[in-house]
Amino acid sequence: METGKIPLLGDPLPQMKVLTTHGPKTIPDDYKGKWLVLFSHPGDFTPVCTTEFYAFAKRNDEFKSLNAELLGLSVDQVFAHIKWVEWIKENLHVEVPFPIIADSLGTVANTLGMIHPSKGSETTRAVFIIDPNGIIRIMLYYPQEIGRNIDEILRSLRALQMNDKFKVSLPHNWPNNELIGDKGIVPPPKNIAEIEQRKKDYEGYDWWFTYKELK
């Protein structure tokens, strides 16, 4: 990857040393062998971000069950993160169990394109899902005014893992797709000779739209 270029899907996450509420870390090396969900928020002690952190914290065990770790980030300093986490525990009665990067110099945010100039110096609501080999598999960006759907991030993570395991594509709203339910879409045939065999081996609407059970 070129120096100064924002990484794209399929690129390795650049190695960075960061300060977090759980101490210094090196990403993605410290998460090797696990999925990493790295997400940024515009600022501590803001209402939309607070609702998101509450939701992430409540679903932390679901992420862990998928061999995934959560890692938050904003350009606030570490003492602000610590105080905000304390406030959430005292007032909303949920503990934020995952670390939050204090990116006060904007190093991570600028490297990953999390700062959009039209919105000032705060980070956008970005989500990066990084696989156990340190490769960026999903990138999502939301405006500051719109909170994320944490269940959709979980769904996307599960879909990536099924893609890796079964080498299939996943349909709209998998595993609750209106046409094929929780099945996976078989990759298209590579040549004409495979077309007739495709019809015999799989269910489908046509040879280019076949699917199979994921088990």
Give the active site residues: 49
What is the sign of the dihedral through the CA atoms of 65, 29, 99 and 151? negative
CB distance 57 to 153 below 8 Å: no
> Mind giving me the DSSP string for the chain?
--TTPPP-TTSBPPPEEEEETTEEEEETGGGTTSEEEEEE-S-TT-HHHHHHHHHHHHTHHHHHHTTEEEEEEESS-HHHHHHHHHHHHHHH-----S-EEE-TT-HHHHHTT-B-GGGTTSB-EEEEEE-TTSBEEEEEEE-TTS---HHHHHHHHHHHHHHHHH--B--TTTTSBTTTBT-EEPPPPSSTHHHHHHHHHSEEEETTEEEE---
- Spatial CB neighbours of 116, under 8 Å, sequence gap ≥ 6: 124
Contact 35, 27 (CB under 8 A): no
